Amino acid sequence: MAYRVRKRYVRYGGWPAGLKNGTSVSEPAYTGLHSCIDEVHPGPPYKTGGPLLVTKKMINLDRSRPFFSRAYFGPLSSYDGHMTVLPYIPSPEPIPLSLSGWGAKGWNRAFPVHPIYNLGVSLIELKDLPSMLVQTQRFFSGMRGLSFSRSHGSVGGLFSSLKSGTSEAAGDYLNLQFGWIPFLQDLAFLLEMQAKLARKIAWLKKHNGKTVRRNFEMDAGGFSEDVPRVVQPFTTLSPVLNTELYSGSVVATASIPVQKTYDRRIWFSSKWRFFIPELVKPGMSLTPLKLALSGIDLDPSIIYKVIPWTWLLDWFVSVSALFQNIYFRARYHVVAEYAYVMCRENFTWVAPGYADFNIGQQYVAPPFVLTWPSTRRISGASTTYYEFRQREEANPYGFGITFASLSAYQWSILVALGLSGGKHSRAPRP
């Protein structure tokens, strides 16, 4: 299918603000962009969905009520109109979140033939049990020798050698969090493994060869923070007037922070089919399937997970998820009739502004004192808003895979499962 790009530029502001010294002045103008990048699908009705990126930049300008101000010495110091609070335009402006990696995570989580536990990793990590026991024995030995005196080896002595004490405490904490707690969780799983395994196989038998839908939220949240800004208050409003029309000093600065708000939601929608011959053909052993579902099979993802520091790499790229996806997809003939990872992001910058103005016609009060009828503080807040909505579509065999790269064997699986009616899914638009 061909991609199409639709863009629409929207003007915000730029309207007449009033008369400054008898001359018309306008408020500042800003350009917002509304764009949509997607695929052309046959319709109506539109029953399929593909890659999508919707971008919006909108600005809401806060305008004051009109007012009149004129100095005593004539029209060169006069204004009749309204003030506009200037918006905050971030630099650089935000861009959509990269969904690279989120698709693999969602695919791995939604995959219907998925291990119920990584028991293989746990068994390999048993090699650490002796060192865990030694570390624990040292901890309890140290606890027996503690007292509240300041002699060597006591609590007082511990504080006097803070560096070594901190190091030992950190080691004990890591031993607990990444040693004993996972170990005890593995033991608890073993006690319930047979029941969980039986329920998983029963579910696979029930849905073998049928469609399975998996929809879930992957991430949601946001934050608010203040962007520091120290400025002269009169510069937060437009237009800029003659000095004598402002009340008070225009040189003084003030802290007027901009409030930034961000929120996002990432979710996954999919529909699957799989076929496991062992579940329908009599006489075939289910032992290999049970081992794979328990995570005892030495698939590439298990070997990867036991390599030191790979957990840190998985914070940035989902390597283990990719390995597991490839292995189980090839072994159990699992394909997705459709699979989407979707994201919505909102950025908001609220920029307040204010200034004090002399209002009305300045006059001479006895004994020749220039006086203003009144003063007024004009304030408000303008908003800059960015919105991104995006959707990435997976191939029946995963994200980042093209139909041109499929082998004859992979095409045969699509034919057998009835998914070969074209290069696009028959999925409803999410």
Task: Quick: pLDDT tens for 305-345.
Answer: 555 555 444 544 455 555 555 555 556 678 888 899 999 99
- Binned average pLDDT, 10 residues per bin, the chain of 430 residues: 86 96 96 90 69 95 96 89 97 92 87 68 50 52 48 47 48 54 58 75 87 94 96 96 92 96 96 84 74 64 52 50 55 81 97 97 90 96 97 83 57 55 40
CA dist 271 and 51 (Å) reads 17
61-91 confidence digits (pLDDT tens): 999 999 999 999 877 899 999 999 999 999 9
SS3 for 407? coil
Please check whether residue 48 is in contact with residue 427, taking contact to mean a CB–CB distance below 8 angstroms.
yes
CA 109, 318, 213 angle in degrees (round to 5)? 20
Give me the pLDDT at residue 22, please: 92
CA distances from 1 to 42, 50, 78, 217, 301 (A): 9, 9, 61, 28, 35
Spatial neighbors of 337 by CB under 8 A, at least 6 apart, are 211, 271, 272, 273, 396, 419, 425, 426, 427
Whose CA is closest to 345, among 286, 263, 252?
263
At 183, the amino acid letter reads F
CA dist 340 and 318 (Å) reads 17
Angle formed by the axes of helices 102-110 and 319-332, nearest 10°: 40
CA dist 210 and 223 (Å) reads 42
Whose CA is closest to 334, among 286, 382, 289, 268?
289
SS3 for 248? coil
CA dist 425 and 51 (Å) reads 12
SS3 for 80? strand
- Phi and psi, residue 180, nearest 5°: -70, -40
Give the pTM: 0.70
Give me the pLDDT at residue 123, please: 47
Spatial neighbors of 379 by CB under 8 A, at least 6 apart, are 85, 352, 353, 354, 355
Beta bridge partners of 217: 267
